[in-house]
Structure 1
Amino acid sequence: MATRIFIDGAAGTTGLEIRDRLADRGEFELLVLDDAQRKDEAARKEALHEADIAILCLPDDAAKEAVILAEGSDTRIIDASSAHRVSDGWTYGFPEITGHDKIAEAQFVSNPGCYPTGFLALVAPLVRAGLLPADWPFTCNAVSGYSGGGKALIARYESETDLAFRTYGLDLAHKHRPEMQKHAALTHGVLFAPAVVPAYRGMLVDIPLHLGAMATDPRSDDLRAALAEFYSGSGVVTVREEAAMPELLLHAGIAAHDGMELFVFGNEGGWNARLIARLDNLGKGASGAAIQNLNIMCGLPETTGLRL
């Protein structure tokens, strides 16, 4: 019997990409509401209760309301918003970091943010291994394709064709910071500098490190080796072995991709390093992650249906 899936917010950017990835999946039956029903609370509540698994592709407040509507049902929920990423009772949906078994057993799974996916993939394993100190004042510079801002930012970039670069979060209180700190088990909040470039999708997350100032005295080669060991069994995350490259590119016309590449670059002697993640903000950073979590929750191979 097919697992019944309801995507609440299926008309948004993330929802559309999830539907596309599920289009040919016979294991699932999609519960679909028409345009009028999508905004009808009673119809949404009925679908949320009828589904085996609901995927919320909604603004934060609407996602919280959807969880309330689902109360009294046995429906399992994957929330792609940022509403529950640091909430008690929710399992953080980053299987490589959280653990596949926890996600497989969870009723409530919160999809990671796109920027935190890159940051945590690099930092969390190295803090756990004792190679990076948990009390280090981490900084993170990142650029993303404009699709990460939803329909409003997509319309802005596609109408204002002279936009070349947009930095934001200038109040230093970006909503992704709490999950970055919590799920990497850091003492201090992350100094986060996000930006948007004129590409529809794609993302680079860059963490510069002054290794020579750390009491743990790590070297860039040690960090790369530890990450390679940590992700050795992953079909989604790849640690590149290149120790030196003249440049790392993000192409405007990149195709949808649900994997993630990790790089460690160091200077001579390895005293300084840049940890960089390259991923699709709509793939492993959003829709691809939701599908990966869905597969795990349904007892299927985690890479089924992913674009790798």
Structure 2
Amino acid sequence: MKSVFIDGEAGTTGLGIRERLEGRSDLVIRSIDPERRKDPAARKAMMAEVDLVILCLPDAAAREAVALAEELGANAPRILDASTAHRTEAGWTYGFAEMAKGQADAIASARKVSNPGCYSTGVIALIRPLVDAGLIPADHPLSINAVSGYSGGGRQMIESFETGKASSFELYGLGFAHKHLPEIETYGRLAARPIFIPSVGNYRQGMLVSVPLHLGALPARPGLRDLEAALRNHYPAEGQVKVVQSSPDDRLEPEALNGTDLMELRVYGREDVGQALLVARLDNLGKGASGAAVQNAELMLGLASEAATRAAA
């Protein structure tokens, strides 16, 4: 039986991971006494006893935890980091299994895997296949719009909304330096920095990510069918990322996939005016966080997919 230690299991992502992993017959979750959860000696001793450590910590603490694990040398466990700390760092494998051919195998064999950001998951899912197919040039100027529930915004944002201090809707990241931008550029294979200003709504979880395109500004002059076909060719119908048929009469709301580890992709537009909109919908706590972490843990430990088992049932 494989063993896992969730370092930081009391946070939103850690709780979500633990909830998804509890009760499995092929896995045991190890925990430290709450009074010793910040004790380096206790954490290091626990790391030496498990197969996988999942880090659900702030960036600085995640870096300290990795250093602690590396002190174990040959006895060091494999690491899955849910923070931003190592997402574009050399020696780490990016944990978006559907991103590219062979990515799931790379995760399965990696010693250190970085779990993607929630916004990044939606953006990369939409643009990476189109960049790889030559439909969007790497240096094309892109704008990314997104709205998320407040659960993805950290402790202060959660408290602000749940105590009624926050407004109904807010733009944030207005310094044009959101922490997900480096991984979007790196794994979206972009040579030009996109404009990314996210927003948060007064609801707990659920996310919409959208990328508008002027089709005439793309050198390949793709049509809507070309964009959708490239996405469908990339994502198998039975996977967790699904390309869904769109309709101009759709009214998309962000909470439809809450409680699942799925992501839906759609292509909207009008050929006569040369405009298109790529849209991803996901649960920012599911495929955007805890659900992705569990998928990566299953790959790293060689376990059966719980999500696939639920879907088959």
TM-score interval, smaller chain: over 0.9
2:65 pairs with 1:62: no
1:180-259 matches, within 5 Å, as 180-251=184-255, 255-259=258-262
Specify every segment of 5 or more residues in structure 2 that has no aligned partner in the other structure, as ranges.
Answer: none
**In the superposition, relative to structure 1, how do residues 182 and 255 fare at CA in structure 2: closer, same or farther (>3 Å)?**
closer
Distance of 2:211 and 2:204 partners within structure 1 = 23
- Per the TM alignment, residue 234 of structure 1 is displaced from its structure 2 partner at its CA by 4.4
- Give SS of 2:37's match: helix
Deviations 1:80-128 (A, max 9, x none): 0010000000000001114111011000000000000000000001100
Specify every segment of 5 or more residues in structure 1 that has no aligned partner in the other structure, as ranges.
Answer: none
- Per the TM alignment, residue 215 of structure 1 is displaced from its structure 2 partner at its CA by 1.0
Q: 1:96 aligns with which of 92, 95, 98?
A: 98
Distance of 1:306 and 1:112 partners within structure 2 = 23
Q: Is the 8 A contact 1:205 1:277 kept in 2?
A: yes
Amino acid at match of 1:164: S
**In the superposition, relative to structure 1, how do residues 9 and 224 fare at CA in structure 2: closer, same or farther (>3 Å)?**
same
Output the aligned Cα RMSD.
Answer: 1.7
Distance of 2:35 and 2:153 partners within structure 1 = 25
Q: How many residues align structurally? A: 306
Q: 1:122 aligns with which of 111, 121, 126?
A: 126
**In the superposition, relative to structure 1, how do residues 51 and 301 fare at CA in structure 2: closer, same or farther (>3 Å)?**
same
2:113 pairs with 1:147: no
- Give SS of 1:39's match: coil
2:182 pairs with 1:178: yes
Distance of 2:273 and 2:191 partners within structure 1 = 25
- Per the TM alignment, residue 249 of structure 1 is displaced from its structure 2 partner at its CA by 1.4
**Amino-acid identity (%):** 51
Q: Is the 8 A contact 1:236 1:303 kept in 2?
A: no
**In the superposition, relative to structure 1, how do residues 175 and 306 fare at CA in structure 2: closer, same or farther (>3 Å)?**
farther
Amino acid at match of 1:44: R
Distance of 2:241 and 2:62 partners within structure 1 = 28
Q: Is the 8 A contact 2:269 2:275 kept in 1?
A: yes
Relative to the length of structure 1, the TM-score reads 0.95
The equivalent of 1:18 in structure 2 is: 17
Distance of 1:186 and 1:295 partners within structure 2 = 29
Distance of 1:222 and 1:153 partners within structure 2 = 40
Distance of 2:185 and 2:308 partners within structure 1 = 31
